[in-house]
Amino acid sequence: MNCDQVFDILTRGPFPTGTSCDEHVEAHLNACAECHRLAEALRPALELFQEAVDLEESRDLPGYFCATGPERHSPVLSYAAEYETRPARRRLAVQLPQVRPRVPVAAWRTAAMIAIGVTVGLLLSGGAADRLGLPSLKTGAALPPPPADEKVAISRADWMQLATLPAACYGHKPDHAPRYRLRDDQLLASAKLENLNCCSGCHNAASDSVPSGATRLVAQSCRHCHHESLDRVSFTN
Amino acid sequence: MARIQRGETELFSELVARYEPALRRVARSRLGRTDWAEDVVQETFLSAFKSRATFDPQYSFRTWLWTILLRHCHAHYHRRQRSVPIEPLGSEAERDLPAQGKPSSGTPLGHLLAKERAEQLELLLAQLSLAQADALRLRFFGGLKFHEIADAMQCSLNTAKNRVRTGLERMAQLLESSHAQTGGCLPHASESNQS
């Protein structure tokens, strides 16, 4: 279900509708910060409309309740279902799932994205790496992957300091968006993630378009928490 | 409509019965008075019937009808505006009319609240641009799909969606500011649900 379909349903009549599509809409709203923000912003006006329009009269309107629009003809792609079928991995984050698989892009774009990510990583994480005794990214050497049977011990705060998160990630206050309350409060609070935003806060998780430079960087940065390699990290207090 | 074009004109009454409530609601919201709305809806059906031969069945009848209604609303509004000042819904002219809101509880209090919601909604719609308000009326009062709104308003699909979206956002802002100014005296829609 994409953002357009969700907007269509939310503005079609009272929500939840009591139909099977509610689950898909909820899943999308949980995954897409932009739609969630929009839904919250529109809610007062939508409720006023719904209270002002007689429900019975609304049902008499052709196409108001019965037709499901374009989603009837297109398969409902459940982002949540896709997320659940992925290999088990440590889900640090917020209720938002990890970065959506992108559509294929040209090789030079991918290379540029990686270069940007590495550059920002050098700028942001050098100090923390030095303190941890890890190979500094300033030298150009990548963090060596730990052996499969060995975990890297690291404090949560330092883990986050190693993140190549651009400043845009810190502009969001989760207490203003209750759906995005952090799941593991104890873990994440000590990691000082109070103001952390996720990638979908800046671009739609369901969008098929390739994000532009800044948002691409955010998406890249999210892999810091949403990646299989996180399973090989043990967190100290 | 194709059958009506072929001469079964008595079937037109079915179309009237099917679309008349929604058309009347939109016209009433647009013009602010029930009597004018009824005039415009009648003119709309009359125009549709007279022009039935020109209707192309490959297009949507619904869209065609709504386009006619909007045109008549526009003409009627300007015609009346030149002669009589238009009062918003909830004014003296509407006081004795049944509430447009949902008569959910059936009690006098419920009736009053529902009427208040409808009046509040009309006041908010009056503060939007005409295009935004029309798009919202077509969407919520007329039950049109976005592509139908686009056709009826003769704009692109994205423009229609954008008008609905920005209109709702503006309404939400107005609701929030009015709520803040009145310190809760003007009940918010969600509050009434909770109470």
Predicted confidence (pLDDT) per residue in A38-59, tens digit: 888 888 888 888 777 654 454 4
The owner of tokens 């139908």 is B148
Work out the pLDDT band at B193, boundaries 50, 70, 90. very low
In A16-46, which positions are buried (b, 16+ CB within 10 angstroms) versus exposed (e)? Answer: eeeeebeebbebbbbbbbbbbbbbebbbbbb
Work out the pLDDT band at B135, boundaries 50, 70, 90. very high
Q: Of A11-25, A43-57, A77-91, B29-43, which has the strongest mean pLDDT?
A: B29-43
More confident residue, B70 or A59: B70
Distance from the Cα of A183 to chain B's closest Cα (Å) equals 27
* pLDDT at position B160 over 90: yes
More confident residue, A204 or B195: A204
Of B22, B165, B188, the CB nearest to A44: B188
Longest dimension (CA), chain A: 70
- Give ∠ CA A129-A130-A133 in degrees, rounded to 5: 85
Q: What is chain B's length? A: 195
- Among B125, B140, B171, the residue to mutate for chain A (most A Cβ within 10 A): B140
**Which DSSP letter does residue B106 get?**
-
Chains A & B: contacts with CB separation below 8 Å:
91
Query: HSE (CB half, 13 Å, CA atoms) of A219?
Result: 22
**Model confidence over A161-194: pLDDT tens digits?**
555 554 445 444 444 443 433 344 334 444 444 4
Of B21, B124, B143, the CB nearest to A63: B143
* pLDDT at position A234 over 60: yes
Work out the pLDDT band at A152, boundaries 50, 70, 90. low
* pLDDT at position A84 over 50: no
pLDDT at residue B83 in the model: 62
* pLDDT at position A85 over 80: no
Distance from the Cα of A2 to chain B's closest Cα (Å) equals 15
More confident residue, B54 or B156: B156
Partner-chain contact A54 B139, CB within 8 Å: no
Model ipTM value: 0.70
Q: Considering only CB atoms, which chain B residues are within 8 Å of A60?
A: 21-22
